[in-house]
Amino acid sequence: MRIQALFTLLILSLGSFTAQAGGPWVVKKNKGYVQLQAVLPVYPYRALLMGTIRDTQGVNRYTFNSDYSAYLEFGLTDRLNVVSTLPAKYIRTGRETDQRYFEDLLPAGSLFGLSNYHIGLKYQLVDRNVKAAVSVHSRWNTARFDLDKGLATGYDANAFGVMAHVGRGNDKHFGFVEVGYHAFTNGFSDVVQINVEHGWKLKEVWYLAATLNSTISLQNGTYYQANLAQTGFYPNNQAGTAISVKASRELNNGYGLQASFPLIPITLQYVGFNGTVAMGIYKRF
């Protein structure tokens, strides 16, 4: 097993780091939660994971990939929240790798822009010992493209989905399961999304959680763009399953810091084989 695999993070599912920003929990009316996050590579990648850690596809140029996002939950009522993510991405392809993997050598280049803007609603159905909620989501084609260089900051499609959330928690620990279905336009395959998380509160100000995030492509789309399939920037059927560890620390006045560390990549498809670290800051209001 190559050591790089221990540092591979599933970038398809950029989750939140506290119980309040995931699962069946909602914020009360006129209350909210804001999170700023960056996912940065430890090094540029020279291959894509195409299954297990033994299944890779080389790329012709060293590739840099970074993500940034602003996330919001706001209480419209005590049970209904609006949720939104404004994501951005900076990507760059540089010098050639040691071996040519494709006959078509794409020009080097860089691109910065929005990814797919997300907005949705989450409604809490049950607020008891075990809590349950449902949510609807939309993701919009607000990305930038330079297809001649195989560059894209998001999917060339819109997506619409629904998710179910079930979980429970107390002062010491929490856990939840989320399952959803997302339909894509423009010939992209639909996906099933599964998130499982269990966390612990430590010493009043620390949270630690283990998570499993899975995005499963149904392989029912016809979209194909050869240059994007070569670079791994939002081709069709991008998917994966990974386990990671999250940690957050509460600060004063509702602020907090957070970090996410990859642990076990189970299977990834069209995902850069490189190390990443996720860091962020949040505010409850």
User: Residues of the chain with pLDDT > 90: what percent?
Assistant: 85
| CATH code for the domain of 197 | 2.40.160.40
pLDDT (tens digit per residue) in 222-279: 999 999 999 999 999 999 999 999 999 999 999 999 999 887 889 999 999 887 889 9
User: Residues of the chain with pLDDT > 70: what percent?
Assistant: 93
Instruction: Quote the domain boundaries for residue 124.
Output: 3-284
pLDDT (tens digit per residue) in 83-131: 999 999 999 999 999 988 999 999 999 999 999 999 999 999 999 999 9
The one-letter amino acid code at 156 reads: D
- 252 contacts 222 by C-beta, under 8 angstroms: no
Q: Residue 11: pLDDT above 70?
A: no
Q: What is the mean pLDDT of residues 53-81?
A: 96
The total number of structural domains in the chain stands at 1
Length of the chain: 285
pLDDT (tens digit per residue) in 116-171: 999 999 999 999 999 999 999 999 999 999 999 999 999 999 999 999 999 999 98
Q: Residue 260: CB partners within 8 Å, gap ≥ 6?
A: 9, 15, 17, 244, 245, 246, 247, 277, 278, 279
Q: Which pLDDT score, from 0 to 100, does residue 262 have? A: 81
Q: Residue 12: pLDDT above 50?
A: no
SS (H, E, C) the chain: CCHHHHHECCCCCCCCCCHHHCCCCCCCECCEEEEEEEEEECCCEEEEEEECCCCEEEEEEEEEEEEEEEEEEEECCCCEEEEEEEEEEEEEEEEECCCCCCCCCCCCEEEEEECCEEEEEEEEEEECCEEEEEEEEEEECCCCEEHHHCEECCCCCCEEEEEEEEEEECCCEEEEEEEEEEEECCCCCCEEEEEEEEEEEECCCEEEEEEEEEEEECCCCCCCCHHHHHHCCCCCCCEEEEEEEEEEEECCCCEEEEEEEEEEEEEEEEEECCEEEEEEEEEEC
pLDDT confidence of 21, banded at 50, 70, 90? low
Could you give the count of Cα atoms lying within 13 Å of 70 in the half-sphere of its Cβ?
2
pTM, rounded to two decimals: 0.90
